[in-house]
Structure 1
Amino acid sequence: MLIPTFGVMLLFGLATSVLDPSKLSFAPDNAYSVTALIGNLLGLQNVLVPEFGGNFPLWSLSNETGYYVLFPLLVMLFRTRSILHRFLILVAVAAIVHLLNSAILLYFSIWLLGAAFSRVRIECGSFLRWAYFLGVIGAAVVIRLKGKSDISVDSFVQYLLFSMVFVLFLSSMQVTWARTRANEWVNRVGRFFSEFSFTLYVLHIPLMAAMLHLASPVFGNAKLDPNRPLHLLVYLLLYVGLVVGAFLFHLPFEARTYQVREWMKTTLRFRSRPVRV
């Protein structure tokens, strides 16, 4: 899914003359360089390279990459009895810790909190479940209005408290719901949007930039004013355009993930079969 998104970003860079196709760059500080492209595919954005094409939401992928590597290493560290294996794992962990910044390492504790609570089920009544839900909404509003939006060391405590309330709410939702028409409709809607949620996440910034670029001859480069009804309509159209665009974009790519995975399994399994002579 990342490769098609990077292709869209390259096309947008060419269309807006931000990218010069005659000059191939390998500079690590160039957001459109080959180095940045490879680094983003490896989850090293904001670690060794910038986000490719200025698509800043990609910062979270470096966190995920670090956590997905650190967690199994830590599990193997506690499970193995070999001194050599423990030494090699500690060397690998030390190298990763040295590479990652302090914020990524600190927020690893929140990731571990979520991993731990994925095995927790809280049985409670609807009153407590609604209390958890309202707590999540209230904490999110307070953080948005009074807290710090950046994922940094200074904002760790507020996000830790929010995460604790959030995992309590999620754990209380692990119940078997009655098969009512309303619940079935909610499930269908949630399943529909979840199928292209990752596409929407990685694509919304370049897609938004493309739409604003196309609309600039009409609306100019000024920011939208929430006090003007016409601008609210423009915002709504942009929002709908983002969702529809992400849905259409996911059809030939993210929607084919299962088929591609099965094809790769079949291909690798076929190649690994012994040949009779």
Structure 2
Amino acid sequence: MRKVNSNFSKTNELLEGNVSIFLDLIRGISAILVVMEHLSSRLFVGYGNVQNQNVLSKILYLLNILGGPSVIIFFVLSGLFISRSVLKAVYENKWSWQSYLINRLSRLFVVLVPALVLTLILDIIAVNFFGYVGYTNIFQNLKAFIGNLFFLQNIFVGVYGSNAPLWSLNYEFWYYMLFPVLLLLFFNKQGKVFKLLYTIIAILIFSTVGMKMNSYFFIWLIGTFVLLLPRVNFLRRGFVPVLALILVFVAMIVRPLVMTGRLFTDKWTENLFVVDLFVGLAFGFFIYTMLHIVAERIRYIEFSELGKISKLIAGFSFSLYLIHYPIINTVYYWAAKNGFSGLQPNLISVIVEVVLVLLVCITAYYFSRITEAQTHVIRKFLNMKTNTFMFNKRNKEIRKQKVAG
């Protein structure tokens, strides 16, 4: 256990350096790739015949099928950073459920609530003016809204309205809950009452969320394992990070090819756990090489401009992920009503896609200024309120004891 603690301490220190700039950049690019895949499915026609397209069209097609594996990259990065915060608090004896829940819930709700409201508004517009068929029953709509608000989509309700990417958010939330529960249950000294409580909570979550979400928890945990692995000397050769990066690219390309039936099978499949695990392991290995090989070589390099770009796109990546699809959906139905039937992949359509992606990113950026950029304000407010509540509660208990005495 002491060795694991030492490994974590070293990795935690490495994450404070320049590696975090590249991980932020990857997070932002991954969000943009998700947007591109969802946009391309509405923007282009003739993607099934990529063999008959020119090189530029094939490259465009390749970029536009990387949204799915990008979500797996999100999972691994989430496992890396969330488990890092939990492990650090536990190792330093600073763990607090109050602090953890405030940090996580403020981060999620400050974007989720406005995103759900925006989805509602855009869906109403699309249904009433552009022919989109959304929720027609008010009760059903309200039930789905509340269910998504409490991360119950794909458990008790579907994803809300047109916002299909919300499927992954409940995975993230329940992993946020599961990880500290399991860590405190198995690796921290707890009384019997707390161990029983954590056991019951873990069983309830595992039994409720379903087999698929349980299995993808192992992919999320890849980020955790990266934090705890020791540095292996024979992997410190210069070509290893390049090899790891190539492996990530291969895994990301294999995933959509398997899904669409172009590789290993001749039909579309949603049974992608094995290939998603491959993507997760490849990306986990890449992060490992960045931490234990690249980090030392770039420690003293100044990445001022790249750092600004990484911070910028990572700063609105969550907003971009949560609002892009209802925007694309509404614009698509507006365009379809006005005669749009799709573009052929070519130079002009590439420019159109770039412009549209840029517009969605700009929209998400300004959306993020009033949502996720204000997370610290929400956290400060919640901490103040909870601390005041606890202070008043203690004072009441003290006064009761004095009266009783």
The normalised TM-score by structure 1 is 0.83
> Is contact 1:143-1:158 (8 Å) kept?
yes
> Is contact 2:174-2:205 (8 Å) kept?
yes
Of 288, 291, 297, the match for 1:171: 288
The answer as to 2:262 corresponding to 1:157 is no
Q: CA deviation at 1:106?
A: 1.0
Relative to structure 1, is the Cα distance of residues 260 and 85 closer, same or farther in structure 2, using a 3 angstrom cutoff? closer
Q: CA deviation at 1:211?
A: 2.8
Which residue of the partner structure matches residue 60 of structure 1? 168
Q: CA deviation at 1:17?
A: 3.0
Q: Within 2, Cα distance between the matches of 1:126 and 1:109?
A: 29
Which residue of the partner structure matches residue 201 of structure 1? 321
Which residue of the partner structure matches residue 126 of structure 1? 238
The normalised TM-score by structure 2 is 0.59
Q: Within 1, Cα distance between the matches of 2:380 and 2:190?
A: 35
Which residue of the partner structure matches residue 30 of structure 1? none
Q: Which amino acid in 1 is paired with 2:202?
A: V
Q: For structure 2, which runs of at least 5 residues remain unmatched after alignment?
A: 1-110, 262-267, 400-405
SS in 1 for 2:202: helix
Which one has more relative contact order, counting CA pairs under 8 Å at least 6 apart? 2
SS in 2 for 1:54: coil
Q: For structure 1, which runs of at least 5 residues remain unmatched after alignment?
A: 28-32
Relative to structure 1, is the Cα distance of residues 143 and 13 closer, same or farther in structure 2, using a 3 angstrom cutoff? closer
**Structure richer in helix, relative to its length:** 2
> Is contact 1:121-1:171 (8 Å) kept?
no
> Is contact 1:55-1:206 (8 Å) kept?
yes
Of 132, 135, 140, the match for 2:247: 135
The answer as to 2:151 corresponding to 1:46 is no
Q: Which amino acid in 1 is paired with 2:157?
A: V
Please tell me the root mean square deviation across aligned C-alpha atoms, in Å: 2.9
Relative to structure 1, is the Cα distance of residues 225 and 107 closer, same or farther in structure 2, using a 3 angstrom cutoff? same
Of 110, 119, 124, the match for 1:14: 124
> Residues 220-264 of structure 1, C-alpha deviation per residue, up to 9 Å, x if partnerless?
24233214x443332222111111111111111111111221232
Q: Which amino acid in 2 is paired with 1:195?
A: G
Q: CA deviation at 1:179?
A: 4.3
Identical aligned pairs, as a percentage?
A: 26
Which residue of the partner structure matches residue 106 of structure 2? none
Count of paired positions: 266
> Residues 26-81 of structure 1, C-alpha deviation per residue, up to 9 Å, x if partnerless?
33xxxxx2211111111111111011112111111121122122222222322456
Q: Which amino acid in 1 is paired with 2:178?
A: L
The answer as to 2:366 corresponding to 1:254 is no
Which residue of the partner structure matches residue 74 of structure 1? 182
> Is contact 2:123-2:330 (8 Å) kept?
no
Relative to structure 1, is the Cα distance of residues 243 and 81 closer, same or farther in structure 2, using a 3 angstrom cutoff? closer
The answer as to 2:342 corresponding to 1:223 is yes
Q: CA deviation at 1:2?
A: 0.7
> Is contact 1:148-1:155 (8 Å) kept?
no
